[in-house]
Amino acid sequence: MGHEAVRQPITEAHTPQTIATSAQPLLNVQGLSVRFDGAPKGVNVVDDVSFSVSKGKTLCIVGESGCGKSVTSLALMGLLPTPPARIVGGSAMFDGQDLLTLTERERADLRGDRMAMIFQEPMTSLNPAFTIGDQIAEGIVRHRRVSKAEAMERALDMLKKVRIPAPEKRLRAYPHEMSGGMRQRVMIAMALANDPQLLIADEPTTALDVTIQAQILTLIRRLQEETGTAMILITHDLGVVAEVADEVAVMYAGRVVESGPVEAIFEDPQHPYTIGLMGSVPSLGRRQGRLATIRGTVPPAELMPKGCRFTPRCPFADTRCANDPPPLAEIKPGHRARCWYAPLEIHRGAAS
């Protein structure tokens, strides 16, 4: 069968490396900082972001809109619009290579091959002018030495894999002929076509209805289990995080404010922002009074405090917070929080 020929080299090519590195994280991002031209001095849109993902694991990045989730992932993929965006610091070790120092050509070779990405908007992320089959096969032809026909064969397999009904027909369909959920499946098929080691999914379900969202999440999770792909899932829905994450990084205004295993984050949140976030989500159980809210909004770049960026919205903040940025300190093994006063009940337990 056609796909055998395609898949053979893929596994061969990747197996030695994956085995060699499986002990360490597949991707290790340290101190990533991104600046946009014209932003006030010292205010990076992404500032000193560190996290890591291991093979077969899922890292969720959560945070408010505009906190830099997409910019972070685009920086890793090398898809940031430069200018105005500029990576000003940090490293991202992917399988022994620093993604941030690769040449444009090397990055392009990596993209869609060993790392792939799914975007938020299934409705607009597919090119309306080409058929689904063309668009999937294109990525395969780009990275594998296969003919167009073989690539189409592989594309068909992928469509089957993402459970698209009548895949033969869909291969020749145009994006507009499909619903949002179907398109998102196509996006997933496209991303996974070359068996990437790392999949970055930027809010893959935000635009979808709950029932469809559940379908897609289940699908992603199953595929991940099958292939052992590492995944970075970006979302702002804590429910989704709780369902799929192994590790969580909570971002606020361009910084990771808390990171750790998913249980730790949900059961033992340390950063005031994480706590406020949890309090803001209405419960599905019987109503329990008003929601606890985080006041105000993220300050605009020109008013960003020097210290902890959450200061203006934080009930616990004081002048120290405003002036000195707290480090991402380890509270428990693997659980870090960027707060001077974590754990709160110890530092802020008593009324001041």
Partner 1 sequence: MLRYIGRRILIAIPTLIIVSVLVFALQKLLPGDPVLTMAGEERDPQVLAYLREKYRLDDPIPVQYFAWISSALTGNLGISLRTDIPVLDLIMSKLPVTIELAIMAMIVALAIGIPTGIISAVKKGTTVDYTANVIALSGLSIPNFWLGIMLIMLISVRWKLLPASGYVPPTEDLWLNIKTMLMPAFVLGTGLAASLMRHTRSAMLGVMRSDYIRTARAKGLLSRKVILKHALRNALVPIVTLSTLLFGELLAGAVLTEQIFTIPGFGKLIVDAVFNRDYAVVQGVVLCTAVGFIFMNLLADVLYVLVNPRLRHAA
Partner 2 sequence: MSVMPSSDIILEGVGLKKHFGSGGLLSSPTVVRAVDGVSLGVRRGETFAIVGESGCGKSTLGRLLLRLIEPSDGDVRYEGRSILKLNKSELRRLRRDLQIIFQDPFASLNPRMNVGDIIAEPIWLHDLASGREKRERVADLMRTVGLLPTHADRYPHEFSGGQRQRIGIARALAGDPKLIVGDEPVSALDVSIQAQIINLLEDLKDRFGLTLVIVAHDLAVIRHMSDRVAVMYLGEIVELSETDALFDNPLHPYTQALLAAIPIPSPANRQPKALLQGDVPSPAAPPSGCRFHTRCPHARTLCKEQHPALETAPDGRQVACHFWREIQGAGAGSISAPPPSAALAKRLALYRTWRERQDKPVATSP
Partner 3 sequence: MTATAVVAYEVALPKKRSRVLAKFLKNKSAVLGGAIVLFFVLAAIIGPYLAPFDPVKPSFTSIRKPPSELFWFGTDELGRDLLSRMLWGARASIMAGVVSVFIAIVLGVPFGLVAGYFGGWIDAAISRATDAMLAIPFLIFAIALAAFLGPSLTNAMIAIGLSAMPIFIRLTRGQVLTVKAEDYVEGARAIGLPDFWILVRYVLPNVLPPILVQGTLTIATAIIAEASLSFLGLGQQPPNPSWGSMLNTAKNFMDQAPWMSIFPGTAIFLIVLGFNLLGDGLRDALDPREQ
Ligand X SMILES: Nc1ncnc2c1ncn2[C@@H]1O[C@H](COP(=O)(O)OP(=O)(O)OP(=O)(O)O)[C@@H](O)[C@H]1O
* Residue number, 82 or 127, with CB nearest to ligand X: 82
* Sign of CA pseudo-dihedral 202, 203, 208, 209: positive
Q: How far is the CB of 270 from partner 3 (least distance, A)?
A: 24
Q: Write out the residues near ligand X by the rule CB under 6 A.
A: 36, 45, 63, 65-71, 81, 84, 236
* Residue number, 146 or 317, with CB nearest to partner 2: 317
1 binding Ni ion? (CB under 5 A): yes
* Residue number, 54 or 72, with CB nearest to ligand X: 72
- Binding to partner 3 (CB under 8 A) within 301-320 occurs at 302-303, 312
Partner whose footprint covers residue 294, from partner 3, Ni ion, partner 1, none (CB < 5 to 8 Å by kind)? none
187 binding partner 1? (CB under 8 A): yes
* Sign of CA pseudo-dihedral 46, 260, 233, 139: positive
**Does residue 79 contact residue 250 with C-beta atoms inside 8 Å?**
no
3 binding Ni ion? (CB under 5 A): yes
Q: How far apart are the C-alpha atoms of 105 and 126, rounded to whole Å? A: 23
- 262 has which bridge partners? none
Partner whose footprint covers residue 2, from partner 1, partner 3, Ni ion, none (CB < 5 to 8 Å by kind)? Ni ion
112 binding partner 1? (CB under 8 A): yes
Q: How far is the CB of 56 from partner 1 (least distance, A)?
A: 22
Q: Of 197-205, 252-260, 295-303, 336-344, which segment contacts partner 3 by CB under 8 A?
A: 295-303
Residue of the chain from 11, 101, 179, 293 that contacts partner 3 (CB under 8 A) = 293
For the chain, the maximum distance between any two Cα atoms, rounded to a whole number of angstroms, is 72
What contacts 311, CB < 8 A, 6 or more positions away?
305, 317, 321, 322
Buried-exposed string 179-190: b where 16+ CB fall within 10 A, e elsewhere: ebbbbbbbbbbb
155 binding partner 1? (CB under 8 A): no
Q: Which residue's CB comes closest to Ni ion?
A: 1
Strands (E), the chain: 27-36, 46-53, 58-63, 85-94, 97-98, 115-118, 198-202, 230-235, 247-252, 255-261, 329-332, 335-337
Among 26, 29, 78, 69, CA closest to 328: 29
* Residue number, 70 or 224, with CB nearest to ligand X: 70
The footprint of partner 1 (CB under 8 A) covers 77, 79, 105, 108-113, 116-117, 119, 121, 124-130, 135, 138-139, 142-143, 174, 176-177, 187, 190-191
